[in-house]
Amino acid sequence: MPSTAATTALPSPWARLANPAGWSVGTHELVFALKTAAGGLLALYIAFRLGLESPYWVLPTSFIVANPFAAAMRSKSMYRLVGTGVGGVMAVVLVPNLVDSPVLLSLALAVWIGLCLYLALLERSPRSYMFMLGGYTVGIIGFQAIGEPQAVFDIALARVEEIALGIGCTTLIGGIVLPRPYGPVVQARLEEWTKPALDWALHALAGTEPSSAALYALRDRLTGEAVEIGMMIPHLSYETAAWARFAGEVDELRQAVLSMVPILSALGDRAWQLKRLGGMTPELAAGLEDAAGWMRAGQSATRAQAGRLMARVSALEEAEPARDWAGVLRASLLARLRDLIGLVEYERALRRHIFKGEPMLPRHAIHLGALAHPVKASDHGLALFSSLGAAFTLLVLCGFWILSGWPGGAGAALMATIACCFFAALDDPTVGMRGMLHYSALSAVAVALYGFVLLPRVEDFGQLALVLLPYLLLAASLAARPATMSAGMTLGANGCTLMALQNHYAGDFAAFANAALGMVGGIGAAILITRIIRQAGVDWIVRRLLRQTWKDIAAATSRPQDRAQFAGRLLDRLGLLLPRLKVAAPNTGALGVNLLRDVRNGLNALVLAREQGGLPLPVRLLVSKVQERVARHYREAPERPPEPGLRVALDAALAALTQVPHDQVTREVMMALVGLRFAFYPEAAPPLALVEPRA
């Protein structure tokens, strides 16, 4: 599946191909191109020798599953094989029973494809390809079997055989001939990705102003790239055994780093505020400097050093009375510092375990109160809307095919459906579809040259391989580079499908013209229908994601939830939102300016819901008023400044807490109330009850 990141400013496909950098081929690209071409040609040779019904299917399959990295190729091959099998079974079920009613058959195909796309969009991982393929494979098989429904099982079996052959040959050569390991790539990407966390931590410990451009850039990079890295990790399960057994731990490592985001934000806010108020004590300043040195030490820091640093934080917490505003801020900072040390030590322990083979510490030996679970924030409404769009597009094209009787109508309906499925995850699917349209038109020109100029002169398979090799190498070389991958894949997959190679030369220009017009026309129709249906783009999606976040926070004020699950969901949505906020309209982007603050408010509201039962009744009633006003703010007007009544309620609850004996519950509640007040009113004067220390 394409990435869910916003893609509204891409250069045109022709500009990409015209760019000389897009044509440069390095060693890795050349090796990948040779392996892909060899795998496709080997599969085609075997298909010819076996006399398969449609041997040409092996070539596009080779391009579709090919990947420069062996593990990613193996995973995609598995997903394609399973998806093809599921689609074949469903075609056998639907076509014979509904072939006499074209309208019902079209409706059944649309429902099935829509359902599969809906599941694929919710999955949001490389496994989504399995669901997507299970959908449109029904069309690939079903449309071919409509003329002979009694042969649908044989057609489905032949498709599975041909695709399995293409997968097997490509995977075999890709895995044997100079395979590129995937684990070191993920490791290097993780190392690069975690640098912003270290830089942010050093800024936070130094009390850098939270609104600085440098901190915004670090935050955006850390959260935005988390989604991409999350898409890479599942492929590790198909890497060598040494890497596959650590796939779960690598995902935990990613989650540990991502869990630092709200902690770093809160810690930096407290340190900056204390510096501004002159409330930074020498002991606390020295402790923060020691923590910064420990952070800089990286993997060279020992577990004993982490233990001593944690003990120092505990000593400072015990010495901190937390009875005035500065004292409360210091206590809150220390609590966040404890969380940060625990997460960093856990992340380092995971690194030593994964990359150096050291034994892993038990979880209970590390403070992991702030660790979030890996949870996907699913948008069922958006997934349903996108899947209905694909189903509607299929129905429109099927209707045109039925009414017109055009021989290329089936191909148009199929290509429109494939285009809708492949780019449904994009904020603006027409961006990817336009590229697919241009490259498909280019492939049609090349196939016409092959089909009516070059192939008539071919007399045996050796000559055929030599004739095809330049086209296959060109397409595979483009597919090997991220900047031109869509061009290479479209030229390879669509061009080889349109070429429709058989054991004998056919040379039917009318059939070629219908197929080419169906391919190009189907994609063009998909662009037109998608534009009509999905007029709302990135701004609409941003507003949906923000509303879901605000709704979750409002619910957290009154319903105790698992903190790790709740934090994981909010952080996942944060990673989806921040890249989109950069390209959204200014008025939409302004709605997300306090997004990280909202995440922290949700976590603090969750503490109140969980701990308020342990408070004395008078304090509990005041805390309940805070919860009600926080919930009202996020339900009714989260995009506007909070009402003054919320500040009054927060100050009253904080004043009441200063009058009761302090224990773990009151401390947790006070930290949550301080976090809410500071997030909602960062520039406001301290609460009157906490201006002067109390006896």
pLDDT band at residue 320, thresholds of 50, 70 and 90? low
pLDDT band at residue 213, thresholds of 50, 70 and 90? confident
Q: Are residues 310 and 169 in the same domain?
A: no
Q: Does the structure show a pLDDT above 80 at 7?
A: no
Instruction: Please indicate, yes or no, if residue 656 is contained in any of the structural domains.
Output: yes
Instruction: Please indicate, yes or no, if residue 244 is contained in any of the structural domains.
Output: no
Q: Are residues 487 and 563 in the same domain?
A: no
Instruction: Please indicate, yes or no, if residue 253 is contained in any of the structural domains.
Output: no
Q: Which residue has the higher pLDDT, 326 or 589?
A: 326
pLDDT band at residue 321, thresholds of 50, 70 and 90? low
pLDDT digits (tens, 9 = 90+) for 486-511: 999 999 999 999 998 988 887 889 99
Question: Residues 319, 325, 330, 334: is their CA dihedral positive or negative?
Answer: positive
Domain closes at, from 533, 548, 571:
533
Q: Number of structural domains, the chain?
A: 3
Q: How far is CA 275 from its chain centroid? A: 38
Domain closes at, from 533, 548, 564:
533
Q: Are residues 216 and 353 in the same domain?
A: yes
Q: How far is CA 455 from its chain centroid? A: 43
Token pair 């796309």: residue: 117
Q: Does the structure show a pLDDT above 70 at 322?
A: no
Which residue stretches of 124-259 are H helix?
128-145, 152-176, 183-206, 213-232, 241-244, 247-258
Which residue stretches of 99-151 are H helix?
102-123, 128-145
| Angstrom distances, CA of residue 567 to CA of 69, 530, 607 | 33, 34, 12
Instruction: Please indicate, yes or no, if residue 695 is contained in any of the structural domains.
Output: no
Q: Are residues 608 and 583 in the same domain?
A: yes
Nearest to 425 by CA among 193, 580, 229: 580
Domain limits at 287? 183-238+260-365
pLDDT digits (tens, 9 = 90+) for 402-447: 899 898 899 999 999 999 999 998 888 999 999 999 999 999 999 9
Q: Does the structure show a pLDDT above 50 at 13?
A: no
pLDDT digits (tens, 9 = 90+) for 100-146: 888 899 999 999 999 999 999 999 888 999 999 999 999 889 888 88
Instruction: Please indicate, yes or no, if residue 371 is contained in any of the structural domains.
Output: no
pLDDT band at residue 23, thresholds of 50, 70 and 90? very low
Residue type present at position 566? F
Q: Are residues 486 and 337 in the same domain?
A: no
Tokens of 272: 């900056």
Q: Are residues 42 and 129 in the same domain?
A: yes
Residue type present at position 129? Y
Q: Are residues 107 and 206 in the same domain?
A: no
The 3-state DSSP class for residue 180 equals: strand
Cα–Cα distance, 253 to 268 (Å, whole number): 23
Instruction: Please indicate, yes or no, if residue 624 is contained in any of the structural domains.
Output: yes
615: CB partners within 8 A, 6+ apart:
623, 660, 665, 666, 669
pLDDT digits (tens, 9 = 90+) for 356-395: 888 887 877 788 888 999 888 888 988 998 899 999 999 9
Cα–Cα distance, 591 to 516 (Å, whole number): 46
Q: Tell me the mean pLDDT in the region 11-40.
A: 67
Q: Are residues 134 and 222 in the same domain?
A: no
Domain closes at, from 303, 336, 365:
365
Tokens of 76: 């995609």
Nearest to 409 by CA among 483, 484, 515: 515
Q: Are residues 543 and 515 in the same domain?
A: no
Q: Are residues 123 and 207 in the same domain?
A: no
Q: Are residues 460 and 561 in the same domain?
A: no
Instruction: Please indicate, yes or no, if residue 372 is contained in any of the structural domains.
Output: no
Q: Are residues 344 and 202 in the same domain?
A: yes
Instruction: Please indicate, yes or no, if residue 252 is contained in any of the structural domains.
Output: no
Q: Which residue has the higher pLDDT, 526 or 582?
A: 526
Q: Does the structure show a pLDDT above 60 at 686?
A: yes
8 A C-beta contact, residue 526 and residue 393: yes
pLDDT attached to residue 252: 92
Residue type present at position 364? H
**pTM of the complete model:** 0.87
